[in-house]
Amino acid sequence: MKVSCLQENLSKGLSIVGRAVSPRSALPILSNVLLATDEGRLKLSANNMEIQIDCWIGARVEEEGAITVPAGTFADLVNALPPEQVDLELIPRTQTLNLRAGRSQANIKGLDAQDFPAMPLPEEQEGIPVEADALREALRQVTFSAATEETRRILTGVLAWFEGERLTLVATDGYRLSMRVVPLSQPVEEPFKVVVPARAMTELSRISGDQEDPIIVSLSPAHNQVVFRLTNSVLTSQLVDGNYPDYQRIIPKKYKTRTVVDTAAFLKACKMALIFARESSHVATLHIRPESELAAAHMVVAATSVETGDDSVELDATIEGDELDIAFNVRYLIDVLSVINTPQVALETSDATLPGVIRPVGDENYVHVLMPMHLG
């Protein structure tokens, strides 16, 4: 293998695939990055057995070939090089990669590319185009609700349901649930549901930062992997096996009280409540007070710590329905309020023991459900 490319491109490519490297894997080759010539470009790949990221960068290929080199060392080296042309040459006898840039040169010992457990990429095929910004925003609004503990694996994934002219993304950890609908530009021919690991979704958001064209989503032929195709890179992820909970049943259809408040003010009040709430299992209580003879409609966000003190913030609100005191994990409130873009947010509640629903006012496509907390 003998190729030349620009240091900037190589560095950027490495940063894209870098997160799919598993630095402390039992399989040493998984901490390596694969370099391979591919139809006149240089392909970089990293794989941690759950996700694989491939990235193509422009290069001048003089001699075809492939090698894997330790990802950390290689990236450090490349980042230390001057921003000019980098020549890479594999010395097959020793499986050593020689780098040259300007007056610097280095040799990295590699491992045979044959041993790299790359997930086979499906043939270039038709997929479902999803608008990149919309998908990224949807993932931001949904992924945080996925479970982080591995104990119930299905919940560590994000449900992606392609049907008709919409993609529905859902994540839940058993205490809260986020759902976002992303409109599609063309109807899906064959509807399908997959559960994608939340980590893969996080990486997808990260690498699609300056993606302008739609992201093409497809399934591997065996339907056991999902492939997100970007302009110069591809993220392939294993799927989470299992039946995803029936989220539609979880989202309440009715409510008794609807409270509309300023999103930013609510978020700010929650952040203040967190100061005390973090010492008492993050409990913040919302006192929802419809308009009365004594006062205009308002909602109070309050937190108490027996040890430290307490605080409360009163927010102007538009309230339909009955008054209610309901407690939530304030971290959950902060998580959801942080991803809502509309100026106003609605909280729908029925009872202190029943789930609350948070919706951005004027955006029908997002719903967040969260279970209250109890003291007792």
In the complex, the residues that contact another protein under the rule CB under 8 A are: 147-149, 151-152, 172, 174-177, 245, 249-250, 280-283, 306-307, 327, 329, 353, 355, 369, 371-376
* Residue (186 or 353) nearer to another protein, CB: 353
User: Hey, what are 96's tokens?
Assistant: 């050593």
- Rounded to a whole number of angstroms, the minimum distance from the CB of residue 245 to another protein is 6
Q: Which residues lie closer than 8 Å to 23 by C-beta, 6 or more apart?
A: 31, 71, 72
How many C-beta atoms lie closer than 10 Å to residue 255's C-beta?
Answer: 19
Query: Is residue 337 packed enough to be buried (19+ CB in 10 Å), middle (13-18) or exposed (0-12)?
Result: buried
- Cα distance between residue 162 and residue 169, in whole Å: 9
Question: Is the Cβ of residue 152 or residue 193 nearer to another protein in the bound state?
Answer: 152
CA angle 257, 262, 263 (to 5 degrees): 95
Shortest Å, Cβ 173 to another protein:
9
Any idea which residue has 């950890």 for tokens?
Answer: 173
Q: Which CB atom, from 103 or from 249, has the smaller least distance to another protein?
A: 249
**Residue owning tokens 């309020």:** 337
Among 169, 174, 173, CA closest to 142 = 169
256's tokens: 């008794």
In 3D space, the residue among 321, 314, 208 whose CA is nearest the CA of residue 261 turns out to be: 314
DSSP three-state, residue 244:
coil
Shortest distance, CB of residue 272 to another protein, whole angstroms?
Answer: 19
Least distance (Å) from another protein to the CB of residue 250?
A: 5
Q: Which is nearer to another protein, 26 or 306 (CB)?
A: 306
- Beta-bridged to residue 180, according to DSSP, are 169, 366
Give the shortest CB-257-to-another protein separation in angstroms. 18
* Encoded tokens for 177: 């649930």
Based on CB atoms, which residue is closest to another protein, 128 or 347?
A: 347
Residue 361 identity (one-letter amino acid): V
Contact 234, 44 (CB under 8 A): no
Query: Of the two residues 235 and 334, which places its CB atom closer to another protein in the complex?
Result: 334
Minimum Å gap between C-beta 224 and another protein is 25
Compare residues 161 and 328 and give the one whose CB is closer to another protein. 328
Nearest to 216 by CA among 185, 194, 259: 185
Nearest approach, Cβ of residue 107 and another protein (Å): 35
Closer residue to another protein (CB): 40 or 174: 174
Tokens 């919706």 -> residue: 359
Q: How far is the CB of 355 from another protein (least distance, A)?
A: 6
